[in-house]
């Protein structure tokens, strides 16, 4: 358990992808810049933008065409995930100079437990300022550091002032600082949750802190009670360097053509599930559920999910559940442009679970060994050295979805918000 008088920081690299891109292209630093996907492969979305682009109202995840309509002189840079990972490792190395308790929240965000570090390096603000100075001088990019007495408020503090700032939320000032803010500013309150809170006349974090527990529980279940706990500053979750990613392992991609039949969707789900399964195994994880993301050709999107009978990192089981969720929970009306598969409810691969007395677990163990052997072959001879015969049926998708996503495995693992 963390100390009740702990010091927790959330270090957030400002406009991480775009900042790295501008660092290596000095001539574009003062121009509106976005990092985007491959428009030729229908991956034309904004992955990150600099502050010059933000002034034009450009948003992450909007299409590059939309961004160009807002800014005619927009500079679009192709993503370079090897570069981002290299810089992320340099950031993590700096953080570890202050504490061994570093928990990546994403490639560009990390929680740091500085409770013991204050005896060596000064208070939370002093450490935050020193981290910012070193990142500026050693890496040429900037970070914002939110400092508080728990992870929830440290995250909130890191979002209040950008770029290159150290922001404190303390036990003495959190009601004055945090409570007047919209409830949507708090972590775990997404757009749908916020919409439901507004319908309950809960507008601010302070409203949420004072809300009736029974009403929250009735509307959101136990998650409603957690939101109230967080709003009142009672979060005691530790900074865990070995924490399993909270958001799951995902792989999504825009299709080379709009899918119009369930069979085309099935092929895409199976290809994407292969990538998800490989990443689960590489991280020593299994999932207990599968989530699918569907966006049609008019850019309307939905997310649906289902639970698995057993925890798994087998591509076939992930894909079968994904396609089952699609057929049972999605109404196929318009052609589909983008599909995503996400492994959720993660656990360590060696964690014990209850077996079914009549299940063929010997067969599942053989499948696990087979997929691990495929991983070894890919490691030696390349990612496309071996694939399942079932994936060869869709010629246009092979190679397009398998290992050619806009997003990097590590980035997807932590579900980045850059």
Q: Which residues are catalytic?
A: 109
Q: How far is CA 115 from the centre of its chain?
A: 27
Nearest to residue 268, comparing CAs of 393, 91, 86, 408? 393
Burial status of residue 118 (CB atoms within 10 A of its CB: 0-12, 13-18, 19 or more):
middle
Q: Which two tokens stand for residue 285?
A: 């994880």
Nearest to residue 32, comparing CAs of 7, 59, 57, 51? 51
- Tell me the backbone φ, ψ of residue 95, rounded to 5 degrees: -60, -40
Rounded to whole angstroms, the Cα distance separating 329 from 294 reads: 11
Residue 387, number of CB atoms within 10 A of its CB: 17
Is residue 209 left, alpha or beta, with left meaning phi > 0 and alpha meaning psi from -120 to 50?
alpha
The residues facing 293 across adjacent strands are 303, 340
């Amino acid at each position: 358990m963390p100390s009740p008088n702990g010091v927790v920081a959330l270090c957030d690299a400002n406009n991480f992808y775009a900042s790295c891109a501008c660092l290596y292209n000095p001539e574009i630093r003062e121009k509106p810049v976005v990092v985007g996907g491959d428009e030729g492969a229908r991956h034309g979305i904004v992955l990150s933008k600099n502050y010059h682009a933000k002034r034009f109202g450009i948003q992450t995840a909007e299409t590059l065409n939309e961004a160009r309509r807002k800014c005619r002189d927009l500079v679009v840079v192709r993503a370079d995930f090897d570069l981002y990972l290299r810089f992320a490792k340099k950031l993590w190395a700096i953080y570890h100079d202050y504490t061994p308790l570093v928990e990546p929240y994403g490639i560009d965000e990390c929680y740091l437990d500085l409770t013991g570090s204050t005896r060596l390096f000064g208070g939370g603000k002093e450490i935050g300022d020193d981290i910012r100075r070193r990142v500026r001088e050693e890496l040429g990019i900037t970070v914002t550091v939110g400092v508080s007495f728990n992870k929830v408020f440290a995250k909130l503090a890191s979002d209040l002032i950008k770029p290159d700032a150290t922001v404190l939320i303390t036990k003495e000032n959190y009601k004055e600082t945090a409570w007047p803010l919209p409830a949507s500013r708090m972590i775990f309150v997404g757009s749908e949750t916020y919409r439901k809170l507004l319908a309950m006349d809960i507008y601010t974090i302070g409203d949420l802190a004072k809300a009736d527990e029974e009403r929250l529980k009735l509307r959101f279940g136990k998650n409603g009670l957690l939101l109230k706990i967080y709003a009142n500053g009672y979060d005691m979750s530790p900074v865990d360097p070995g924490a399993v990613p909270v958001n799951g392992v995902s792989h999504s991609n825009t299709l080379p053509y709009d899918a119009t039949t369930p069979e085309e969707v099935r092929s895409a789900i199976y290809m994407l599930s292969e990538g998800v399964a490989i990443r689960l195994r590489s991280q020593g994880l299994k999932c207990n559920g599968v989530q699918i993301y569907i966006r049609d050709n008019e850019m309307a999107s939905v997310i649906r999910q289902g639970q698995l009978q057993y925890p798994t990192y087998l591509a076939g089981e992930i894909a079968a559940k994904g396609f089952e969720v699609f057929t049972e929970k999605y109404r196929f009306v318009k052609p589909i442009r983008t599909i995503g598969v996400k492994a959720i409810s993660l656990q360590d691969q060696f964690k014990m679970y209850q077996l079914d007395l009549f299940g063929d677990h010997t067969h599942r163990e053989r499948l696990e060994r087979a997929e691990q052997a495929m991983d070894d072959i890919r490691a030696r001879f390349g990612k496309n050295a071996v694939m399942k015969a079932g994936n060869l049926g869709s010629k246009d998708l092979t190679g397009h979805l398998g290992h050619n996503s806009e997003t990097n495995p590590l980035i997807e693992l932590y579900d980045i918000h850059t």
